[in-house]
Structure 1
Amino acid sequence: MVRNVVLFSVLVYELVGPTLTKLALTAAGEIIPEGRTNARMANKPAFPVSLDEVCI
């Protein structure tokens, strides 16, 4: 019984953890989403990005 509970909790943690971590980091402003990515298409910005315009 204990083994089943531990395995299920690990499964839930592995499925939910990365999603909640990304949401928390985005809400805190630590990461900025660049838009949707796709393995079949390159993630190209709509306009050229210059390193001079980046605000830290």
Structure 2
Amino acid sequence: MGNKAFEDCDSLTTINIPNSVTTIGDKAFSGCINLPSHIKSDIIQRFGDKVF
């Protein structure tokens, strides 16, 4: 998932990340005020800076 993929998308309340996603880029969910600020996954190998 690329850098700033969903930045400032305040309509997001949940996300479902498929197993094929192994990297979440920098600031991918930054500014998503209605999204929980945690992702629990054994699949994700790399989280970028300031993901939330």
- TM-score, scaled relative to structure 2: 0.21
Instruction: Give 1 or 2 for the bigger CA radius of gyration.
Output: 1
Greater strand proportion: 2
Greater helix proportion: 1
The answer to which structure, 1 or 2, has the higher relative contact order (CA under 8 A, 6+ apart) is 2
